[in-house]
Amino acid sequence: MIMAPLVDTDRRTLHLEVMENIKFDLINRGNGEDRAVAIWLAVIGGLVAAMVIIGGITRVTGSGLSMVEWRPLLGWFPPLSEQEWQRVFKLYQNSPEYRYINTWMDLNAFKDIFWWEYIHRLWGRLIGIVFFLPFIFFLITKKIKRRLLSRICFLFVLGGLQGALGWWMVKSGLSSDPSVSQYRLATHLGMAFLILGLLIWTILDLVGKRDVLRSKATVYHANTATVLIFLTVIGGALVAGLKAGLVYNTFPLMGERMIPPDYFNVEPYWRNIFENIPAVQFNHRILAILTLLAVVSLCVYAHFFCKNERLLRTIYVMTTLAILQFLLGVLTLVNFVPEGLAVAHQFTGLCLFGTSVVISWGVSIPRSHSLSQANNI
């Protein structure tokens, strides 16, 4: 008498899960038009990822302040004559970075740092073209589903905003202090990661396949890991902006202590989180440890309870990346931030974040296809 309703409820729940699985399969495999749009967005995602790496190289080589003028429409071509090179170099000689740091620099040395910043800006323009022209084509041919049109338009707006943020960041280093604001650097890098995450999510909405046998614990672990990875990236941007990786170059201790003695040197105290070099580095360490623990926790849980082999393999990849990223961070710190390790650290962080977004998407439930709608299939 008591068990029968429970069995019926269990069967109904199982039926809903199976029907949802079928529905997601049909929706998320994508048709030819969806695949074409997904390939286009994937190309943009690859360009954005490369842009982040080029930006990292620009930062560690000290090239970011070499171009002191912003010419979004006329800046396609580099200096093509000796006279133009002299003009651009003279503009740089009037900048604080040259007057306070690079007074030794001649034209040939200037060219070395100029090219990375030029490539960085040119790459941004390339992304704009690769986005805009196919977007117009897909719009005219009506290959973009209405449910995704607003999101893709939003991505376009974010891309334009990112370009403006880049100049806003550079401009902060053209004042009396020849270094970019750590706040603006964190905003610029954070926006790049958000754009990449949204691109990955949209691509998967078009052609991906979700795990309908997810549990609430899996969803919680996956989303926690993604949020912590993003926060650690922001913390790393603050470290880079303040050059906080050049102090306390030991691990795990900082000045023979776990917590640096000068953690609360800045007043009011909340500013230590963003402006105190030892505090910023310590916070990045803590976030990195919490991120690693969250990813390993997800991996252990999924190893025993995840029934989706593809999702489980992706979690294993993310765990490997998290361990590698942690080790690269330690090596970068104890070796006083060499260029190669710093760029590798940023690249691995990018891969780690992208993988975490894939996993979070895989265990998510889209609003328009919740379990409550399975009755209508």
pLDDT digits (tens, 9 = 90+) for 122-178: 999 999 999 999 999 999 999 998 889 999 999 999 999 999 999 999 999 998 788
Tokens linked to 159: 């891309």
Integer angstrom CA distances of residue 45 from 185, 308, 322: 21, 26, 21
pTM for this entry: 0.88
Query: For residue 11, what pLDDT band results from cuts at 50, 70 and 90?
Result: very low
pLDDT of residue 255: 85
Give 183's contacts (C-beta < 8 A, 6+ positions apart).
241, 274
Write out pLDDT tens, residues 264-310: 999 998 999 999 999 999 999 999 999 999 999 999 999 999 888 99
Write out pLDDT tens, residues 171-222: 999 987 888 999 999 999 999 999 999 999 999 999 988 877 678 889 999 9
Q: How far apart are the first and last CA of the chain?
A: 31
pLDDT of residue 241: 95
Query: CA-to-CA distance for 365 and 213, rounded, in angstroms?
Result: 11
